[in-house]
Every structure is written in C-alpha cells, then in structure tokens.
Structure 1
C-alpha cells in the first residue's frame, strides 16, 4: 500500500511537463547516457522522449537499429548547459542567462531544437545594450545567425557613439567593422569611428605579436582598406588636429589633403577620403523603444530570506504605455537552488503570463533575471501584480523599498497586497527589479 502511494502521488498531482522532469531528474527507466564535456560527466535520459522532440535524436536512435547508442559522447557541450537543454526538451521550459545563452543556442542548433533556438534569439534581442551589442555580434557572427547579426548591426547604427566605445568592439572580425563604418546610417561622430578603428587595430597587433611593441606602420597595415572608409573630412578642424593628425597612421600627404577638405579648399573629387555625410548624425532622432531597469530598493541586498512555499507578491502601476520584459529575482546565498512558479497578473486575478522557474546558486550573482518568452503590454493606470510561490533555501532580499521609481519617461509605483504571505511588501522582500520597455509615440 505504501509503495503504491509513493509511486502514484506525483503522477496524479503534477502536470505532464512536471512528471517528465521527475522521470529525468530521478533517472527513472532511463535508457541512454550522455558523457558530457571534457570530464565525460554522465547524464541519463530517455530515447523515446528525445526522439519525439528532436529530429537529430530521432535520426540517431531510429535510422540505424543495429546501433544501440546507449552512451553518447558530447565533448562540445558543458554539463550544466546539457542539463538545461534536456530540461527544455522534457518540459519546454528552462532558465537562460547571459552566461549560458550562447552555449545553449549552439546546443539547440546542434540538436535542431528550433523552438529553443528562438527562445535564445528572443533573449538576446531583448538584452541588447550599447555595452554588449558588439560582444553579441561577434558571437552570433560565429554561429552564422544572420538575422541576429543584422539586428545587432542595426542597433549599432542607432547607438553608434556608445556602441563603438564598448570594449567588445575590439573582438569583432574585420568584415563586421567594415559593415559598420561603411554605413551612411551610422549615428556616430567620425572621431569616434577613427578611435574605434584604432583600438581595434591595436588589439589585433597585440594578438599577433604578443606584445605592445608595434609601430604606426603596423597599425596602418592592420587597418588596410578600413582606413580609407573613415570619413576624416567630416571632423572639425580642431578635432582632426587634436586626434588623427597627431598619429603617424596617416601619411603627411593624406593629412594635408584632409585639412584642405575640412577647410573647403578641395572638392570631393580631389579628396582621398569620403566627404559624404552620415545621415544618422543629422536627422532628428526618432522616438525609440528603450529598455529600462526599475529598481525597487535603495540599499545593498541583505541575506537570509527564506523561501518555504508561501507566496511573495508585489503590485505596481505605470504612468505610460510600456511592455513588460521580465523581472529580477534574488539568488540563493549558498549552494542549492530555488524553484517554483512566477505569474504576472492584471489586477489580482487575470493571469497574463505564467512559467515554472528555477534559480541556481552562483557565487558571483545576487539575483537572476527571468525574461518572459513574449513581451506583455501594460497600460497606465491599470494595477498589475507579480506573484511567486517558491521553495528552497535562503536567498538575498532587498530593503529600503521605494514606492515610486522614475526611469526614462516612465514612473512606476509599487504597493503591497494581501496575496503576499512571505513578507514581501513595498518596503522590503523579493522582486529586485522589473524590466520594462517604453513604447514609442509613433507606434
């Protein structure tokens, strides 16, 4: 009788996805083993379920009956990444973060998991900033993600000055640099373009020589045709005199030619460098969507908030129309994880979004962003409610909560509610920050 209860309780009381995950995590009736990473760590799974969800696994297990495939070598995917991919296969849900997204995307492409690929692409698109866009561009270029690559390039065109000053630019391939600086739509000062190209060439020389001992001739050789794509005549006389003209990357004749162009002593046909203005610099900026972090707490996070299955909840209103992208939840303070459910509701009953979540301990993180698979429209004046019901160990938590937070062109007001039974309210608790995107007026 006891055995029957133990073996049926979770089957009857959980969703299909949860029972799949239970079978995976407890290695029940597994019939295939993955030897993952350089250490060949074992992960057990089920051929039937893998083949039902992946064309690659179907071909592997079904096309050649003579081959049993009881043990599969996976040296190119790390253990935690493979666990995330399998979790998605079993439940169509997994946590993606900035550290793992590229590895997960690579694994999803390998096993032809198109829906997981799209989840990674959406995550990356929603995370583009001037600081990381060049790094993301480099990675998606390597993965031959053409659509994502174009989105990154378009973002750089709009945020040119900021993006070109980011550290990630120096890792870009020359083809990407060329695409950026040849565009008439690049919204960047030409001095910024020159500075970015020079930094890129310096880094390439360092990589090739292994030292910082290289000449201006080496930099010019590294730049090659990129040098003549920089529109030096668009600089002011003062800017060119204080920057590029002081370097020996340009020849003396080229410097004279540029000075004459700036002083209108030469025509475009006489100048060795393009005098065509970049349209992005001179047009009136369009109203764009802006990703905003709405931080609830003024103080540094405290420790030892207990998740014990009771709900945490906070309500909020916005002052202008926006899109809800995600929420940052505090992480465990010790080894382990928290897991449960996250909901976004309109008012207190109408569920707009719901997903199962799991946040693992990381020694370098105090919180982790949970990004929605699809953005949710939110309107001014309407009450919205965030709700979690989680279990696990101790986590960080916030104090010094603000009832009203302003960022960009939006004001967000927070309030406690009767659903929060674990201590979270407008002054302290969970929900480190929410992530919104303001909507442009012309949409």
Structure 2
C-alpha cells in the first residue's frame, strides 16, 4: 500500500470543473425548501466547493443538531474527503462518538467503490487517511468500543490493545486519537407557565390527550417535552408523545418515564430532535397512562422569549384532557437553536 494521498476536490457534482451551474440564489431557495438531515452533508460539500457561506451555515445547523441522522444517511457517504475531514473535526456534533466512527467506515467503503478499489479492510483503512484519527475513539464507553470499533478490524492490533489499556489501567499509554469529548450543543428550555405547579386531585390522565400548538420566530429543533407526573409520590407512566404539522405526524415516541413526586418536570425525548420551521404552528401532544393525580399549572403565556427565540402558544383541537394555553400539561419544551 502506497503513501496516503489527499483526494482532489473537483466540481463533478455541478456538471464539470469550472462550470458554475447552481447560482447562489438557487442554492438558497433549494435550502429553504429541501434541506434536511439526509441531504445536509451533500449540500455542505457543495456549499464549501462553491463558497456559499449562507448555505454552509444552514447545513451546519442541521448537521450539528441532527448529527446521528445526518451521519447515518446515504448522503454522507457521497461527500468528498475534505468535507469528511471537517465533519469529523466538528466540535458541535450532537451524537455519540460510535456513530461518528461507523459513519467513517461507511464512507470508506463507498470511497473504495468510487476509486475502483476492492472493499478490503486494508483499503477501507487507507482511504480515510488522517481523518480516521480525528474520530475520538477513547471518548466512547468501553462497551461501545468493544462492540463496534474493536470488532471492525479497521484498527491495527497494537491500536486496539493500547486503547483497551487506556480504558482499563491507571498507567495509560499514549494514543494517536483525540482524547477529549466533543462539546456538542447546549439545549435550551422554554417554560410556558408563570405560576408554580399545583398539587391537586383535579388533574387526571386516563390515557387522554394533552395537546398545545407551538410556533417559533426562527428555525429550532425540538428534542424533549417536559411533563408532569404523580403529585403524591414516585410513579411510573407509559407515554406517547407526538409532534405534528397540519395533522401529519413528524415525530413520535412511545416510552415510559418515572416521576419522583416533586413538581419538577420529567423529560421525555423524541428519538431525534425535530426541525420546526420559522413562524409555523406545530401540535405537541402527550398521552399518559399511569397514576392519575398529577401536578398541573395555570397562568399560561401566549408568548415566551427564550434567548433569541420567541415561542407562541395556541390551543389545540387535539386536546381531550383540558390542556390549553392557560393551563394543564406540557409545561416545558427543550430545544436546540
């Protein structure tokens, strides 16, 4: 195997070197109507090639927040090596490091095919070049490492041995991989009530739907609905949360959570943060089944300013359990912006 060489960046995706076929306005328009996690990495590659900073920034907003979906998309495997390097270097990626590692392996297999190389372990190790060492393997848990990277056979035997020693011994060997965990993104919280939570026997669930409409004055990504639980002690709930737009379910999660009996909210996560477009109303819903007597709040706000984001709240016709703007459930949203 010869010395690794950095692949040349070409303008093949745009129909030939030196031929600019996608002007800036068309890029921006395509972004506004089509940018999502599955194509964000491809658009990032193209925006860097044609020096479109606005498109680049918008791509990063999606990739950072929805990193797992972006890195596991087919589009990620189509990016050029230079874009691979900047993505793997990215400090703000909001995902586990094992996802980054597996994405690099998938890209390497696709790159072997593009170069007409057999998809051998040797070639898959060779084509990422130094980008492989930008994966922060030591920040994985030991379980993640042993179930993924250690079994991939991409690492050399000495590398695998030293990483295991790094996990398990006090006298840690030097490693070629970065050791610091990515900073990720800091989530923000939006509380829609002014009053303190009430402990009352008047609020009951029985599997009915608590729902509220939300809108933001800029694009955000909703990750969590904060919910109230039992007002008289620890209790477990089964819950289904949804986020809809014009009646179409964009995301949902059927899970369980335990409330501790306090008036603090319990976070219930969507599988992935959900993109919420600017100045568009979405319906957030929760259907709980468990201990019936719950905390609730009153004195709800129709508008809440959270940092640079202003949220609006409206009543939802989906609500069959009395939640509305002025009171009830779904007191909190956790989001990225």
After TM superposition, the score normalised by the length of structure 2 is 0.52
RMSD of aligned residue pairs (Cα, Å): 4.1
Per the alignment, residue 50 of structure 2 pairs with 143
Indicate conservation of the 8 Å contact 1:130/1:163, yes or no: yes
Match of residue 180, structure 2, among 276, 279, 283: 276
SS in 2 for 1:290: strand
Which structure 2 residues correspond to residues 390-401 of structure 1 after superposition, within 5 A?
Answer: none
Per the alignment, residue 256 of structure 1 pairs with 161
Shift of 1:290: 3.3
Per the alignment, residue 221 of structure 1 pairs with 126
Q: Call closer, same or farther: CA 1:179–1:266 in 2, change over 3 Å.
A: farther
Is structure 2 residue 105 aligned with structure 1 residue 198?
yes
Tell me, in whole angstroms, the C-alpha distance in 2 between the residues paired with 1:226 and 1:135.
18
Shift of 1:175: 1.2
Larger helix proportion, structure 1 or 2? 1
Tell me, in whole angstroms, the C-alpha distance in 1 between the residues paired with 2:311 and 2:162.
56
Tell me, in whole angstroms, the C-alpha distance in 2 between the residues paired with 1:139 and 1:181.
17
Per the alignment, residue 140 of structure 2 pairs with 235
Tell me, in whole angstroms, the C-alpha distance in 1 between the residues paired with 2:147 and 2:313.
49
1:259-291 deviation per Cα after TM superposition (whole angstroms, max 9, x unaligned): 112224444x722211111111xx652358138
Tell me, in whole angstroms, the C-alpha distance in 1 between the residues paired with 2:334 and 2:148.
37
Shift of 1:123: 5.0
Indicate conservation of the 8 Å contact 1:233/1:259, yes or no: no
Tell me, in whole angstroms, the C-alpha distance in 2 between the residues paired with 1:179 and 1:107.
23
Shift of 1:441: 8.4
After TM superposition, the score normalised by the length of structure 1 is 0.40
Tell me, in whole angstroms, the C-alpha distance in 1 between the residues paired with 2:85 and 2:134.
8
Is structure 2 residue 188 aligned with structure 1 residue 286?
yes
Is structure 2 residue 229 aligned with structure 1 residue 324?
no
Tell me, in whole angstroms, the C-alpha distance in 2 between the residues paired with 1:151 and 1:106.
20
Indicate conservation of the 8 Å contact 2:188/2:335, yes or no: no
**Over alpha carbons, which structure has the higher Rg?**
1
Indicate conservation of the 8 Å contact 2:121/2:154, yes or no: yes
Spell out structure 1 runs of 4+ moving beyond 6 A.
439-443
SS in 2 for 1:132: helix
Q: Call closer, same or farther: CA 1:257–1:442 in 2, change over 3 Å.
A: closer
Per the alignment, residue 165 of structure 1 pairs with 72
SS in 2 for 1:271: coil
Q: Which runs of 5+ in 2 are unaligned?
A: 1-13, 190-218, 223-242, 250-275, 282-309, 326-332
Which structure 2 residues correspond to residues 84-163 of structure 1 after superposition, within 5 A?
Answer: 106=21, 108-109=23-24, 117=25, 120-121=27-28, 124-125=31-32, 127-163=34-70
Per the alignment, residue 115 of structure 2 pairs with 208
Indicate conservation of the 8 Å contact 2:37/2:73, yes or no: yes
Q: Call closer, same or farther: CA 1:181–1:403 in 2, change over 3 Å.
A: same
Q: Which runs of 5+ in 1 are unaligned?
A: 1-75, 78-104, 110-116, 299-320, 327-376, 383-401, 413-438
Instruction: Count the aligned residue pairs.
Output: 210
